[in-house]
Structure 1
Amino acid sequence: MWLPAQVRKISGHDLVIRLDEKPNVERLKTMYSGDLSKVYAKVDLVDPRKARPKQRALFFALLNDIWDWTGYPQSDMKSYFYNEYQRKTYGLSISLKDESDTTVSEANLLINIVLEFMFDWNVPFKQGYELLPKEESYYMYLCCKYRKCAICGKHADIHHVNGDTVGSGGNRNHVDHSKRHVIALCRVHHSEAHKIGQKEFSEKYHLPMSGIKLDVETLKLIGIRGNYEEETR
């Protein structure tokens, strides 16, 4: 039973919601065998923002990068990724036409699917590189997962940032890295960040140096050893 509603108040884990129309109580009674003391609901918070022209430009620039690397026509790759989006969203369709109702969040999901494909198959970024969403946490996550420098795409190390660095006397194998902020940088760009400072480095490359946190499964997958006993109990 899908019902349109508006959120009137948000407080911690509590939402105050007003439905646009009255629910069918009799149907609810049928669903819950007459006991309405605990009715469960799924809340889908709607993104009111319409997809940006920059997102459309990035999507097609990335398709051009894939075309340069594979030789597959852009139209074929477009259909492939639209189908992948539909598969991941259990049948929802998407369009990046100007007149479509696609939201920013939906367009981001589509772009993330393309980025995952390119990282997984090591497709080089050419036309799309300048448009890469370096401020997006999922891009930062992919750089860490596939050990790609967030600046240049070369092989990267996983570095702690934002005051979460491991001291020179510290043992990285005894650290719970899932509780620290990290970023993927090649040694050249990592050295530059230390040399000119994080603020100037961030402004130069339009890259937030706040980093992201990785879950234990991802850290183990990419070979970052540490003390994760608390996470695995």
Structure 2
Amino acid sequence: MWLPAFVRKISGNQLIIQLEKSLNIERLKTMYSNHLENINLRIEIVDPRKARPKQRALFFALIGDIWNWSGQPVEELKEYFYIQYAIKTAGRMISLADDTKNTVSDANRLLEIVIDFMFEYRVPFKQGYELLPKSEEYYLYQCCKHRVCMICGKHSDLHHLETIGMGGNRTKVDHTKRGLVALCRVHHMEIEQIGINAFEQKYHIKVKGIKLDVDTLRSLGVQGKYEEETK
């Protein structure tokens, strides 16, 4: 049962909301066998921002990269990802046309689906690379997960933003507690030579370390002494 409502007050983890219409109490009693003290809610925050032209530009740039890689017609690729969006959002539809009613969050979800596909199948980022949201944690996480340099898209290693120190044993470190970045050897050497601030200014990005869970680190062959293993 979906009910439109408005937030009237926020205090920490407590919300005071006002429903647009009155509740059907009898229906609730039927659903919860008269135990109204056990009602569970699922709150969805509605994004008021309309999907942006730059999101549309990125979507079609990435579609162009997939077309160059696969030869599949652009219209068919567009429909494929629109269908994938519907599947992953329980049937919700999306459009990036000028008159779209979809939001920034909707468009970001669609872009995540496309980016996931490109990382999974190793589709080269070419036309769309300059438009990729390099400051977004999701993209940086995928770069680490798939060992793709966040700057140039080439094969990368995982590097700690917080240095372990000379002679430090990496197998004795809990890497889930340390921020990682995916950089190829060329860009890793560069960031060490010029420093993070100059590196950020040169490439117009924020270098933020991404923290990976134990399963992801193990799948990438990163050995360490993880806290959960000692519990």
How far 1:231 sits from its partner (Å)? Answer: 5.7
Relative to the length of structure 2, the TM-score reads 0.95
Contact 1:58 1:132 in 2 (8 A): yes
Q: Is the 8 A contact 1:178 1:214 kept in 2?
A: yes
Equivalent residues in 2 for 1:43-192 (5 A)?
Answer: 43-161=43-161, 164-192=162-190
**Counterparts in 2 of 1:208 and 1:229: CA distance versus 1, 3 Å:** same
Contact persistence 1:143–1:184 (CA under 8 A): yes
Deviations 1:94-132 (A, max 9, x none): 111111111111111111111111111111111111101
Aligned length: 231
Structure 1 gaps, min length 5: none
Give the Cα separation in 2 of the matches to 1:98 and 1:123: 28
Which amino acid in the other structure matches residue 96 of structure 2? L
Q: 1:18 is matched with which residue?
A: 18
| Equivalent position amino acid for 1:133 in 2 | P
Amino acid in structure 2 at the alignment position of 1:112: E
The one-character-per-residue Cα deviations of 1:20-74 (angstroms, maximum 9, x if unpaired) are 2221111111111111112101111111111110000000011111111111110
Q: What CA distance in whole angstroms lies between the structure 2 residues aligned with 1:232 and 1:102?
A: 46
Out of 64-73 and 4-13, give the one that drifted further. Answer: 4-13
- Stretches of structure 2 that go unaligned for 5 or more consecutive residues are none
Q: Deviations over 1:151-201 (max 9, x none)?
A: 00111111111xx32112321111111111111001110111111110110
Aligned letter for 1:13?
A: N
Q: 1:117 to 1:166 in 2, by over 3 A?
A: same
1:216–1:231 Cα contact (<8 Å) kept:
no
Task: Return the alpha-carbon distance in structure 2 between the equivalents of residues 191 and 215 of structure 1.
Answer: 26
Calculate percent identity across the aligned residue pairs.
60
Deviation at 1:16, TM superposition (A): 2.0
- Name the SS of the counterpart of 1:16 in structure 2: strand
Quote the offset at 1:229 in angstroms: 4.2
Letter of the structure 2 residue corresponding to residue 36 of structure 1: L
Name the CA distance, whole Å, in 2 between partners of 1:210 and 1:70: 33
| Partner residue, 2:213 | 215
Aligned-residue CA RMSD (Å): 1.4
- CA deviations on 1:190-224 (whole Å, 9 max, x unpaired) are 11111111011012112211222111121111111
- Moved >4 Å (runs of 4+): none
Distance 1:231 1:53, change over 3 A: farther
